[in-house]
Structure 1
């Protein structure tokens, strides 16, 4: 815990700099993003450490990592910045708008999330929403550091740190070039995401194993659009969300086969007593869906 050393005069700007260094895990990257010279950022961090009487970061060859005291301060920093943003939006809403930053994988964010936001914005036009895309593991890390207000994700999560406040089930489909019959798909290349933890990648590989596909090669891509294009060009087969497939039915060269299995998607937030008002509004909105 951070020790009490009399009256502290923490400046919000110093906390803002600290937050950037903590999230980027680098003084130089934080300086570049903020438009400062690196010595200035280093000095502000040192002054903050001197004032608190603790080390906030451990320096290493790759950058910096937070100490236990630094993690505590980051938690409070996120709350302070959140309250400041809310205060500005209440005092002068025309100038300072509420914000909501969410995370999701590329596949999840392709169709379902835009549909949700379309309905959400009809009721809350004064909230600016940002969506960050990454793999589930990275999104959970960003959520724990306070970089995100909530994430749409699948699979297990740390229930002592996070909680699911909304969930839905996503249908999945097998997509393949129309010129190839399913019975002959054992000869096809498997088109998958390059992230080894991608659930759609694992479903595609699992389908190959279950059906005893022979001599199947694997072709990896970093984006959903590249996977769709690869199948469109006749390179192989893949498994994707049904909503994504339906939104691209105009692609005449792809055939779709809906599978019986579904995938559970959770909207996960950090366990804490107080959440941003914009997040509370979004959670209430999801409860009505």
Structure 2
């Protein structure tokens, strides 16, 4: 196998499309198809299942995809160790939109002061997709909530306060007619907290409105449309004192940073884990 073929394979697998991979790489589509066919013949297995929407990985393809990501990371690490002036270390972290809105920029503003030679990428997605990316080696680690992280290892945790935000002209005990504003991800912990709070307190609401954007939720509350529970740092970062009221809740949420269990870690990831374990996030 040639590294160039693995690089093409990686793009096809991630984009789930030969044509999109060809466009992104600057190749013509027949050449990409030919290289993938050559790779399948060399390995003696089908790597992709083809359909009208594009391609998806077979079981064998998923195994190769995991190894490809590991190979690419090792190649990048080797180049950065051999010639750090030309090749920089990289660190790719995953997080949900709510976590990455405030906490991630805070963390990296401190981390990069001592590690300016590292290029950091943050991938935002839904929890299940982030765990898939972590298992395939697409990202180095993930910030997420919850307790079921098998087969991953938790290397750092911190506690996050949560706040109920609601329109100021609608007292919380009289929220009849107000909508519940939640993230569209069904696994979002703040979505579940919002739904649980209204049920526990017997609040009668008019409807459930789902958003893909955290900013949209904040703006909807500002416009008097409904209520939502969000991380305290996110809620207070855009404090609309004239239109929004804030009720800090006694419950907290624990956020974990997880990495693949017992797998070789890149030097940049080891540096980041050491940084996390040497600070107290609450003081950032």
TM-score calculated relative to the size of structure 2: 0.92
**1:136-181, CA deviations, whole angstroms, 9 ceiling, x for partnerless residues?**
1111112122221111111244513x22111111110001122222
**What SS is found at the alignment partner of 1:110?**
helix
Q: Which residue of 1 aligns with 2:272?
A: 282
Selected match of 2:98 from 101, 104, 107: 107
Q: Hey, what's the Cα distance between the residues in 2 that align with 1:198 and 1:185?
A: 23
Aligned-residue CA RMSD in angstroms? 1.7
What are structure 2's unaligned runs of at least 5 residues?
Answer: 280-284
1:59 lines up with 2:50 in the alignment: yes
Aligned-pair distance for 1:118?
Answer: 0.9
Given that 2:88 and 2:119 are in contact with CA atoms closer than 8 Å, whether structure 1 keeps it comes out as: yes
1:217 lines up with 2:207 in the alignment: yes
Q: Which residue of 2 aligns with 1:257?
A: 247
Q: Which residue of 2 aligns with 1:182?
A: 172
Q: Which residue of 1 aligns with 2:282?
A: none
Q: Which residue of 2 aligns with 1:4?
A: none
Q: Which residue of 1 aligns with 2:135?
A: 144
Bigger Cα displacement from structure 2, 51-60 vs 118-127: 51-60
Selected match of 2:261 from 251, 271, 287: 271
**1:85-136, CA deviations, whole angstroms, 9 ceiling, x for partnerless residues?**
1121122212211111111111111111111111101110100111111111
Q: Hey, what's the Cα distance between the residues in 1 that align with 2:100 and 2:146?
A: 16
Q: Which residue of 2 aligns with 1:15?
A: 6
Selected match of 2:229 from 232, 239, 242: 239
Q: Which residue of 2 aligns with 1:68?
A: 59
Q: Which residue of 2 aligns with 1:79?
A: 70
Q: Which residue of 2 aligns with 1:201?
A: 191
Selected match of 1:170 from 150, 155, 160: 160
Given that 2:153 and 2:261 are in contact with CA atoms closer than 8 Å, whether structure 1 keeps it comes out as: yes
**1:186-205, CA deviations, whole angstroms, 9 ceiling, x for partnerless residues?**
44222222222222122111
Q: Hey, what's the Cα distance between the residues in 2 that align with 1:124 and 1:179?
A: 47
From the superposition, tell whether residues 155 and 12 of structure 1 become closer, same or farther in structure 2 (CA, over 3 Å).
same
1:48 lines up with 2:10 in the alignment: no
Aligned-pair distance for 1:65?
Answer: 2.5
From the superposition, tell whether residues 168 and 215 of structure 1 become closer, same or farther in structure 2 (CA, over 3 Å).
closer
Aligned-pair distance for 1:238?
Answer: 0.9
TM-score calculated relative to the size of structure 1: 0.91
Given that 1:153 and 1:267 are in contact with CA atoms closer than 8 Å, whether structure 2 keeps it comes out as: yes
**What SS is found at the alignment partner of 1:209?**
helix
**What SS is found at the alignment partner of 2:81?**
helix
**1:12-66, CA deviations, whole angstroms, 9 ceiling, x for partnerless residues?**
1111111111222222222122121211111111111222222222223332232
Aligned-pair distance for 1:261?
Answer: 1.1
